[in-house]
Structure 1
Amino acid sequence: MADFRKLPNLAALRAFEAAARHDSFSRAAEEIHVTPGAISHQIRALEEELGLPLFTRNGKRIAITDAGRRFAAAIRNALTEIATAAETLQEQGGRQRLVVSSPPSFASRWLAPRLWKFIDHYPDIEVILQSSSHLNDLARDGIDVGVRFGLGNYPGLKTELIMEDFYYPVASPHYRQGRLPSSPQQLRDCVLLRMDGLQESWLPWFKLAGLDLPDPAGGLVTEDSSLTLRAAADGAGVALTRHAIASQEIAAGELVRLFDIAWKSERAYYFVCHAETLGKSQVGYFRNWLLEEIALFKSNQRWPGP
């Protein structure tokens, strides 16, 4: 049996593993919430204790040695086993935690209004919903599940397509005193609201509708689809929106879908997580619930696609 009195300092081992994974002292410092100097000091002390270098240093540039790489893999496996054992004990004690990350617009307008159903069904699971437009480092930030709107290219993660989406124009029923455009051609005379970024361009929908119009310029530009929809509901103009994001306002009568032309987005919603996280019971429950909720949503809506 190993002599546990000879174990290196746990904080130093964690600092080294993070630095090896990121190939950076500064990023390891961000993860552990200490200074890069503290990371460097802990790794120096660990190298002195082990009697060999774990990194080569050239100014501010570092490179892990072969011995360091093998040691980092062993530490990572050991820390993973410890974390898994702790989670298992927590689950046996009836305490389960599920951290979900989702884009802000999808989180606030689609996911959050439905989450009470999941919580109602699994009252022993504490759900933490985080909103972010970026794909976080799930393991580093303690996130179990990510729902992302993108192209599905998420290296190192288990990725599952869960829902496509469609763009179409919407406006308040009171826009221009209720004189809404009756044909796509009449959009030439309307204020067209837009978001910042090529991925929210009007051009693909214009092309599908047979309109030879440039992308709108000037006027209000927002960085969040929720703000664009709010402006449209307030009568500021016509917004190009995704079906999943606008369905709540359309059902409430705050927005009206214009025309019967919907452009299928090149991006879609994906369920993403690490392979080891997929084995957690709460993640499995959430995935199954989410797929059922999406199926219900599509059956109860005038779904634009097949």
Structure 2
Amino acid sequence: MDLRQLPALNALKTFEAAARHESFSRAADELFVTHGAVSHQIRALEEELGTSLFLREGKRVRLSDAGCRYAKDVRSALMALADATREVREGQRARRLVVSSLSSFSARWMTPRIGRFIERHPEVDVELLSTNALTDFTRDDVDVGIRFGAGDYPDLHVERLLDEVAFPVCAPTYHPGALPKTPAELAASPRLLRSDDQMWAIWFKAAGLKGIPEPRRGVLYQDSSNLLQAAMDGQGIAMLRRSIATEELASGRLVRLFDIDAPSPFAYWFVCPPPLLASARVQAFRTWLMEEVERFRAQFIAPPTPSDAR
């Protein structure tokens, strides 16, 4: 048969819904169209086929004998088409890995490293979703989340990735080059503000100074990437997490002030829905990510001294 002689797909979908419900109104509700639109589609299909598919009995309709036979075959054909479409979509989706993480972590930690994953797994199409909103795995099309928090994520597979510390940094040319020499001197210097954070107070306590308040005046930065940029631009001294500042410290665009860490009460976590954990793309990403975390940690583990080796 010449496929050009087939009825329009939309007409067949409308007929299948109307036949299944034996109601034009219920078919209209399902298809989000009007009752009149369904009636028009059915009449046009009947004219094209040259036979009645429904028997009209007042406001009610029921399938004719021809309509019953045709409905069975149309439903079977549409189901086969739906199955074929799903298989194609699932095949493409199986290659796509969507990873959600904080914008700052995605930009400053994940992006410089993700090339190694792509080189190892060219069969996986990676999408880095940078957002500060908490992913809802029941609603969002996301495979894996990298979350920064306390680790309490019900109904998800959760693994601790990376503990975090923070410390003060600034541009090497800040003030201009006359950097604070003591924590007390730092307390009197312009400090940049970060929202939802108390890391300055934690750092000063670690430095032996108590009662130093968080900065109260100036620009309030919601995102650590913007805070980092402000520090590189010489606008002040920023308290930054190690994972965010490492690349800029290594390049010399930032310098660290004092060898004192403020331990963060939060950590980074690998999370995903339990059914997705066994998928090939998630397993490949998890393995690679754990290796990168270990490589990152190794940068901050001091080599053993001779006395340690004995």
- Under a length normalisation based on structure 1, what TM-score does the superposition of the two structures give? 0.68
Q: 1:95 to 1:183 in 2, by over 3 A?
A: same
Residue 127 of structure 2 corresponds to residue 136 of structure 1: no
Name the structure 2 match of 1:120: 119
Q: Is the 8 A contact 1:95 1:124 kept in 2?
A: no
Name the structure 2 match of 1:74: none
Name the structure 2 match of 1:277: 276
| Distance in structure 1 (CA, Å) of the matches to 2:109 and 2:283 | 20
Name the structure 2 match of 1:231: 230
Name the structure 2 match of 1:243: 242
AA at the equivalent of 1:290: L
Deviation string for 1:236-290 (max 9, x for gaps)? 1110010000001101101111111101111000000001010110000000000
State the percentage of identical aligned residues: 41
Q: Is the 8 A contact 1:101 1:131 kept in 2?
A: yes
SS at match of 1:153: coil
Name the structure 1 match of 2:256: 257
SS at match of 2:286: helix
Deviation string for 1:10-53 (max 9, x for gaps)? xx9xxx9xxxxxxxxxxxxxxxxxxxxx7xxxxxxxxxxxxxxx
| Distance in structure 1 (CA, Å) of the matches to 2:207 and 2:21 | 68
Name the structure 2 match of 1:184: 183
* 2:200 corresponds to which of 183, 199, 202: 202
Deviation string for 1:222-249 (max 9, x for gaps)? 1111111111111111100100000011
SS at match of 1:186: helix
Shift of 1:220: 2.1
AA at the equivalent of 1:138: F
| Distance in structure 2 (CA, Å) of the matches to 1:186 and 1:6 | 79
| Distance in structure 2 (CA, Å) of the matches to 1:120 and 1:86 | 27
SS at match of 2:96: strand
| Distance in structure 1 (CA, Å) of the matches to 2:199 and 2:296 | 26
Name the structure 1 match of 2:213: 214
Name the structure 1 match of 2:103: 104
Equivalent residues in 2 for 1:9-88 (5 A)? 86=87
Displacement over 2 Å in runs of 4+: 5-8, 85-89, 301-304
SS at match of 2:259: coil
SS at match of 1:237: coil
AA at the equivalent of 1:107: S
| Distance in structure 1 (CA, Å) of the matches to 2:222 and 2:121 | 35
SS at match of 2:300: coil
| Distance in structure 2 (CA, Å) of the matches to 1:215 and 1:277 | 42
- Under a length normalisation based on structure 2, what TM-score does the superposition of the two structures give? 0.68
AA at the equivalent of 2:201: L
Q: Is the 8 A contact 2:145 2:270 kept in 1?
A: yes
Structure whose alpha-carbon radius of gyration is higher: 2
Shift of 1:302: 3.0
Q: 180-189 or 156-165: which moved more?
A: 180-189
AA at the equivalent of 2:124: I
Shift of 1:195: 0.8
Q: Is the 8 A contact 2:199 2:262 kept in 1?
A: no
Equivalenced residue count is 228
Q: Is the 8 A contact 2:166 2:199 kept in 1?
A: no
| Distance in structure 1 (CA, Å) of the matches to 2:166 and 2:100 | 23
SS at match of 2:129: strand
Structure 2: give runs of 5+ residues left out of the alignment: 1-18, 33-82, 303-310
Aligned-residue CA RMSD in angstroms?
2.8
| Distance in structure 2 (CA, Å) of the matches to 1:7 and 1:261 | 71
Q: Is the 8 A contact 1:162 1:270 kept in 2?
A: yes
AA at the equivalent of 1:225: S
Q: 1:7 to 1:96 in 2, by over 3 A?
A: farther
Residue 88 of structure 2 corresponds to residue 90 of structure 1: no
| Distance in structure 2 (CA, Å) of the matches to 1:279 and 1:88 | 19
SS at match of 1:204: helix
Q: Is the 8 A contact 1:157 1:274 kept in 2?
A: yes
Structure 1: give runs of 5+ residues left out of the alignment: 17-37, 39-81
Q: 1:86 to 1:264 in 2, by over 3 A?
A: farther
